[in-house]
A and B are shown apart, each in its own frame.
Chain A
Amino acid sequence: MTSTHPAVELNGLTKTFGPVTAVDGLSLRVQPGEVVAFLGPNGAGKTTTIDMLLGLARPDAGTVRILGGTPDDAVARGRVAAVLQTGGLLKDLTVGETVRMTAHFYRHTRPAVEVLERAGITDIADRVVGRCSGGQQQRLRFALALLPDPDLMVLDEPTTGMDVEGRRDFWQALRRDARAGRTVIFATHYLDEADAYADRIVLVRQGRVVADGTTAEIKNLAAGRTVRATLPGADQAALAALPGVDAVEVRGDSVLVRTGDSDAVARHLLARTAARDVEITSRNLEDAFLALTTEHTGA
């Protein structure tokens, strides 16, 4: 029924605020079941994109489809839920009252006790929201988002302002909840979160998608991998001629090859040369992030 439509389909999304173009012709398609990190520095247009995705803001140009329909319809049917940075909570309600009250706005929800449990806040159900920590309030927002058992969950920098422990608890709650078929899109500027929790990373800069792929692909994109081997008298020219090789460096008996296709280099070294101690190291995501989000910005 729902599997025929993409979970999210953004086409040429554009939004300007006065002279500033926050989102600049952004297109994105997310299939059901994907866990996608929307990664970019502050001001990259992540929040504006999410606002348009949820129907909270109207795009100047472009279209948004969620699960084959409009954002408003998806919200009204509880098919999409979100944890936003800006969504407030009523300080004078208890955690439990907030969940029960919100549940009344839907046709049908998961039981309040269940979402409290899944968000890990059962023990503070009777606490007044105003006396909850930032992390606890964020998990309450998460519990509210779980109520309709949405097909698509959108989280905008859900762990901003949390301490290390709060972040870990939050992601644990999200993972505990993860079930086959639920699509998750989260915006973050924490690289480790994107790396650890997403299947796919969409890098945005200045309102555009600058890279899109699996975590491994994104790492490769910017820096590729380095293949290191012990190979006395290496034939530098032959190595440099391999597909995807960016640079070859010889240091005594060692050879270092920087490449976008480490498999081809390793295969060549092992099959056609006397190389041993072959070692493949990956650049970390931070290198990719910095390379993709900062280059050309001075121009």
Chain B
Amino acid sequence: MTTLPATPAATRTDRRLPALGGFAPAVQGIELRRMLRNRRTLAFTLIMPGVFFLIFGLPQGGQALDNGRPVTAYVMISLAVYAAMVATTSAGGAVATERALGWSRQLRLTPLRPTAYVATKLITAMTLGLLAVVVEFLVGAAAGVRIPVYVWLLSGLAAWLGSLVFAAFGLFIGYLVPAENVMQFIGPVLAVLAMFGGLFVPVEVLPDVLQHVATFTPVYGVGELSRAPLTGDGVSMAALANIAFWALVFGIGAVRLFRRDTARV
């Protein structure tokens, strides 16, 4: 047998491993475009929260909180938290669709490492979450909400970073159920959680028992933290513990299921 000459491809093609396990910032652009092309995501994260503000927040114009700040700002920040959590859950939950379609299996035939894939999903989720907060705030500002700059910044930052908990939640669900339309049943779940988290009405107006229950639900802590700069109330240890607890539960859950998913059989 004669040995074959080196193929042209062997000399042409760079066979080194990709940097960062195949993680590429350019993919983020395509991912974000995908999310924005999805009418459902667009409606629930960027349009609906803004419309809610105009319907439920605006009529309360002129009313003030105990510290004199406008009630409209309270509603706007709450809805920004809601918008961000729906955005990050959707983006994380997209993993379910991609697993159902078999795309994750296709990806295993590329150099892309699973951790790079999850990092891409997380960044896409957080980008969409930031966009959701910014849009809600723009609607609020355009409709006349006036609050100090530091409140805009701190509340916005808390709403955005808090939504990381829900990016983890989305990934957790995404690795739990391989379903193409996972958001159809997570959407209502998020709405109920938002209710308990005081995003649609203040928790204080709920019956006593529900108020107590509410403090243990996953949106409560993020809601409290995001509104604290506005209300001037201190952030309770309960709220911080709530955030830490759910971040851990969803984070560890997502990591465990992710490991199970990428293990070979």
Residues of A within 8 A of B (CB): 1-4, 31-33, 54-58, 75-79, 81-82, 84, 86-93, 97, 100-102, 104-108, 141, 144-145, 148-149, 151, 179-182
Contact = CB atoms under 8 A, between A and B. Distances in A.
Contacts of B14: 107-108
Contacts of A57: 264-265
A149 B13 contact: yes
B237 interface: no
B13 A32 contact: no
Interface stretch (B55-63, B96-104, B205-213, B245-253): B96-104
B4 A181 contact: yes
Interface of B: 1, 3-10, 12-19, 22, 24, 26-27, 30, 34, 37-38, 98, 101-103, 105-112, 264-265
B101 A104 contact: no
B24 A87 contact: no
Given A54-B109, A57-B265, A88-B106, A106 B10 contact: no
B109 A82 contact: yes
Contacts of B27: 101, 104-105
Contacts of A4: 3
Given A3-B4, A97-B30, A90 B12 contact: no
Contacts, number: 125
A89 B5 CA distance: 36
The 5 closest A-B pairs by CB, nearest first: A88-B102, A181-B7, A108-B14, A87-B106, A104-B24
Given A3-B3, A88-B101, A104-B24, 8 more contacts: A1-B10, A75-B110, A90-B98, A100-B30, A104-B27, A105-B22, A181-B4, A181-B9
A261 to B, nearest CB: 24
Contacts of B18: 76, 105-107
A71 to B, nearest CB: 10
B265 A148 contact: no
Given A77-B15, A77-B17, A79-B15, A92 B7 contact: no
B263 to A, nearest CB: 9
A182 B10 CA distance: 10
Contact of A77 (B34, B38, B111, B265): B111
Nearest to B104: A88
Contacts of A93: 30, 34
A84 B265 CA distance: 17
A54 B106 CA distance: 12
